[in-house]
Structure 1
Amino acid sequence: MKARVAQGQEPGEKKLSERQFQPLARKVALSLPDVSHGRPFVEKLDVYKVADKVFMIVTDDPNEQIITLKADPQQAQALRERFDTVTAGRYLDKGHWISVGAGRGITRQVVTELVKTSYQSVVETMSAHDRPKEGGSKEGGT
């Protein structure tokens, strides 16, 4: 599944403020099936997982308000070229992860699609048995 966000901002759609950016990403992540989050590494990193696999990290640092997401390497490159506030992943493999900050062109739609695409790319690596179903439980689970 590839994100369609490389095209940029829809006409009339406003960018998100720094205050809106991370709360939206958290809300989208928590709306997805079988998502958990916590701070397993350090206090400033809020790590979001699906079935114990990381798909998003929110950096809780007023000087670095970013989210880090899994991305297809080609899509990641296109996003870095399109948006000034998309960079190589801050904490993880630079080819398969991106870090995103609020900025020009980063809209609600862009954040929503990036979070969902990251989640889906992680789910696609799971066996059918371990994949979450829409209701939040795993397929084939008890």
Structure 2
Amino acid sequence: MKYPWIDDFLKGMNGVTSDFKEEWNWDRYMIDGKMFAAVCRDDQGKEKLISMKLEPLEGDFLRQQYKDIIPGYYMNKIHWNSVMADGDVPDELLKDMLEKSYALIFAKLPKKRQKQILGEE
């Protein structure tokens, strides 16, 4: 995979847990059980796609700019986007997309829970 840093990057975010959803062949990354990113694997276990949630207008804009960003694979095509794991999306852009996905889900958590995750309570 072109993005070998992705697992450490995602697990390094506050409050993130992960699991492997065997039925889907996905590594899922969650905050309080709410998924914000997934690494989808092919039948041989090789990373195929990285999916994340984005604001619809931003996702649409990025899909127009990069052929390796497509509507969410097996996800809501308006809110979710997938990046080809062997594509040409720059590392910094992918990191920015993943951080924005995390922020979208984090913002929906109750304020008290947000403070707990950030270690402020």
TM-score by length of 1: 0.74
8 Å CA contact 1:35–1:50 kept in 2: the answer is: yes
User: Structure 2 unaligned runs (5+)?
Assistant: none
Q: In the alignment, is the contact (CA less than 8 A) between 1:46 and 1:59 conserved in 2?
A: yes
Q: Which has the higher strand share?
A: 2
Runs of 4+ in structure 1 off by over 2 angstroms are: none
3-state SS of 1:49 partner = strand
Contact 1:56–1:67 under 8 Å retained in 2: yes
1:104-123 correspondence to structure 2 within 5 Å: 104=88, 106-123=89-106
Q: CA deviation at 1:67?
A: 0.5
Give distance in 2, aligned partners of 1:48 and 1:107: 21
CA distance in 2, matches of 1:41, 1:118: 23
Amino acid at match of 1:92: M
The yes-or-no answer on 1:67 pairing with 2:50 is yes
Deviations 1:55-75 (Å, cap 9, x if unpaired)?
Answer: 001012257611110010000
**Number of residues of Structure 1 aligned to a counterpart in Structure 2:** 116
Unpaired segments of 5 or more residues in structure 1?
1-18
By how many angstroms is 1:41 displaced?
5.4
Instruction: Give the Å deviation of 1:118.
Output: 0.6
Deviation at 1:98, TM superposition (A): 0.2
Between the aligned partners of 2:7 and 2:33, the Cα distance in structure 1 is 17
Moved more, 37-46 or 92-101: 37-46
Q: Taking CA–CA contacts closer than 8 Å with sequence separation of 6 or more, which of the two structures ends up with the larger relative contact order?
A: 1
The aligned counterpart of 1:11 is none
Residue equivalent to 1:9:
none
Percent of paired sites with the same residue: 22
For the residues of structure 2 that align with 1:64 and 1:27, how far apart are their CA atoms?
Answer: 15
- Determine if contact 1:86/1:99 at 8 Å carries over to the other structure: yes
Task: State the partner residue of 1:91.
Answer: 74
